[in-house]
């Protein structure tokens, strides 16, 4: 059993790593759908174009000190930056503090990627291959440190997860003559199968469907025949409760 001081130290390290990761991931969420470069060029204020210095880019702290506004022009800084930094800090603290080994690091990576995909899908109905495919690769490799699922079960899970939603998407297109399910959803479910094995897939789909239906009913979008549902967002949210169920049943 780890000493309390060691666990607290690991949690603090995880929170710091998460805040830094959240700063970068929020930039991806805001820039990528607009076709703007994520890696090239320095960070700049969207209002006045001033290049941001080190004092403007300290995760969480800069936003608080500057009250969410640019020091030069007073333009409002998108609150997503601070929210992503805080959320990723919490994920990092819980994952690495709760499991201060390689398993904690892999859980943190999984959480950060799923949060990014969930927000991208919620905002833009977009699950980019550049995130879902690496997520699947990580599930088949370093994912073994996070869960005790065997490699064959992971491979089967990846194949079934992708194949099941792909079959539904192709069938819907053939019957209705239009797309009803994005292939990004299929790739994400395949990636989750690579992390948690085929056993978790029914529970992930069930919980995601319940969450999606609840949100659609609450927001009134269920009455709209052409309403779009960010299934990927709900798949991401369903992962943890589904995994808890699998651990209790198997």
**Among candidate residues 100, 119, 148, the one where a domain is terminated:** 100
Residues 65 and 163 in one domain: no
Per-residue confidence (pLDDT) for residue 180, from 0 to 100: 72
Q: H or E element: which one contains 154?
A: helix 151-176
Per-residue confidence (pLDDT) for residue 44, from 0 to 100: 64
Per-residue confidence (pLDDT) for residue 202, from 0 to 100: 97
Residues 92 and 184 in one domain: no
Count of CB atoms situated within 10 Å of the CB of 245:
17
Could you read off the pLDDT of 48-60 as tens digits, one per residue? Answer: 655 665 566 677 7
Count of CB atoms situated within 10 Å of the CB of 122:
16
Residue ranges of the alpha helices (H) in 125-150? 129-140
Residues 89 and 48 in one domain: yes
The tally of domains found in the chain comes to 2
The predicted model gives 54-83 an average pLDDT of 73
* Beta-carbon contacts of residue 193 (< 8 Å; ≥ 6 apart): 139, 154, 156, 157, 158, 159, 160, 161, 162, 200, 201
Per-residue confidence (pLDDT) for residue 123, from 0 to 100: 94
Residues 10 and 82 in one domain: yes
Residue 210, phi then psi, degrees to nearest 5: -65, -45
Residues 132 and 240 in one domain: yes
Vertex 127 angle, CA 233 and 239, to 5°: 35
Residue 175 lies in a domain: yes
Count of CB atoms situated within 10 Å of the CB of 154:
23
Per-residue confidence (pLDDT) for residue 54, from 0 to 100: 58
Q: Is the pLDDT of residue 1 over 60?
A: no
Residues 84 and 42 in one domain: yes
Taking Cα atoms as reference points, which of 168, 133, 136, 177 lies closest to residue 155? 136
Residues 80 and 191 in one domain: no
HSE-CB for 120 with a 13 A CA cutoff: 28
Q: Is the pLDDT of residue 67 over 70?
A: no
Per-residue confidence (pLDDT) for residue 124, from 0 to 100: 94
* % the chain with pLDDT above 90: 59
Residues 247 and 150 in one domain: yes
Per-residue confidence (pLDDT) for residue 40, from 0 to 100: 65
At 223, the pLDDT band (50, 70, 90 cuts) reads: low
Q: What's the domain range around 72? A: 1-100
Residues 148 and 187 in one domain: yes
Residues 41 and 134 in one domain: no
Per-residue confidence (pLDDT) for residue 195, from 0 to 100: 97
* Beta-carbon contacts of residue 21 (< 8 Å; ≥ 6 apart): 88, 92, 112
The predicted model gives 98-104 an average pLDDT of 87
Per-residue confidence (pLDDT) for residue 230, from 0 to 100: 94
Could you read off the pLDDT of 131-148 as tens digits, one per residue? Answer: 999 999 999 999 999 998
Residues 238 and 172 in one domain: yes
Place of tokens 């950060």: 112
Mean pLDDT computed over every residue of the chain: 88
Q: Which residues pair with 190 in a beta bridge?
A: none
Tell me the DSSP string of 181-215. S-HHHHHHHHHHHHHH-GGGHHHHHHHHHHHHHHH
Per-residue confidence (pLDDT) for residue 222, from 0 to 100: 64
The predicted model gives 76-95 an average pLDDT of 92
The predicted model gives 191-199 an average pLDDT of 97
Could you read off the pLDDT of 25-53 as tens digits, one per residue? Answer: 999 999 899 887 776 666 666 656 556 65
The dihedral over CA atoms of 124, 126, 132, 134, expressed in degrees to the nearest 10, equals -70
Per-residue confidence (pLDDT) for residue 17, from 0 to 100: 96
């Amino acid at each position: 059993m780890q000493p309390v001081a060691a666990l607290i130290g690991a949690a603090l390290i995880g929170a710091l790593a998460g805040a830094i990761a959240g700063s970068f991931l929020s930039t991806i969420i805001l820039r990528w759908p607009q076709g703007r470069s994520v890696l090239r060029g320095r960070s700049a204020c969207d209002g006045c174009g001033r290049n941001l210095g080190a004092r403007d880019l300290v995760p969480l702290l800069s936003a608080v000190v500057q009250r969410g506004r640019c020091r030069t022009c007073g333009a409002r800084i998108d609150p997503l930056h601070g929210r992503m930094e805080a959320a990723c800090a919490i994920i990092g603290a819980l994952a690495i503090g709760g499991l201060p080994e390689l398993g904690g690091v892999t859980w943190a990576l999984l959480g950060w990627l799923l949060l990014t995909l969930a927000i991208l899908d919620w905002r833009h109905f977009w699950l980019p291959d550049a995130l879902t495919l690496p997520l699947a690769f990580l599930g088949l490799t370093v994912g073994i440190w996070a869960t005790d699922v065997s490699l064959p079960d992971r491979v089967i899970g990846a194949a079934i997860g992708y194949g099941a939603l792909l079959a539904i998407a192709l069938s819907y297109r053939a019957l209705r003559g239009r797309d009803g399910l994005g292939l990004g959803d299929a790739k994400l479910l395949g990636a989750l199968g690579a992390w948690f094995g085929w056993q978790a897939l029914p529970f992930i789909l069930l919980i995601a469907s319940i969450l999606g239906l609840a949100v659609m009913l609450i927001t009134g979008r269920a009455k709209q025949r052409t309403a779009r549902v960010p299934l990927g967002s709900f798949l991401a949210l369903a992962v943890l409760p589904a995994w808890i169920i699998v651990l209790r049943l198997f």
